[in-house]
Amino acid sequence: GEDVEQSLFLSVREGDSSVINCTYTDSSSTYLYWYKQEPGAGLQLLTYIFSNMDMKQDQRLTVLLNKKDKHLSLRIADTQTGDSAIYFCAERGTDKLIFGTGTRLQVFP
């Protein structure tokens, strides 16, 4: 089945690194994505990774993929207050995206 799970909440101090984790079950997914949602807004695509990659870095964002364990993580370096939002991972199922439960990131000074 298709099921994507995330921890619900993460709180970090400004300047520290944040690591948001995601587990998925569909091993045939070709792409995995990270989206950011600010309050009352739609989703913003942050980054994605191909299933044949282990790691992808994009400025402050680092995505790690452990395909054996079906585990995906997003690391945000030097976390800022503007990073406070809900982060969704998503896998590409059969012609549609399957979203995780979302992780609320709170950044405190």
Contact 72, 62 (CB under 8 A): no
How is residue 37 written in tokens? Answer: 């949602």
* Binding to other proteins in span 39-58, by CB under 8 A: 40-45, 48, 50
CA–CA dist 76, 47 (Å, integer): 12
Of the candidate spans 10-18, 52-60, 71-79, 98-106, the one that interacts with other proteins by CB under 8 A turns out to be: 98-106
Please say which residue, 76 or 98, places its beta carbon nearer to other proteins: 98
How is residue 26 written in tokens? Answer: 């569909």
Kindly tell me which residue out of 54, 77, 96, 106 binds other proteins, with binding defined by CB under 8 A: 96
Please state the closest distance from residue 27 (CB atom) to other proteins, in A. Answer: 18
Q: CA geometry: angle at 95 spanning 51 and 73, to 5°?
A: 35
| Residues 6+ away with beta carbon under 8 Å from 49 | 31, 32, 55, 56, 63, 65, 72
* Binding to other proteins in span 11-40, by CB under 8 A: 31, 35, 40
Of the candidate spans 10-18, 66-74, 77-85, 94-102, the one that interacts with other proteins by CB under 8 A turns out to be: 94-102
Question: Could you list the residues that contact other proteins (CB under 8 A)?
Answer: 31, 35, 40-45, 48, 50, 88, 92, 95-97, 99-102
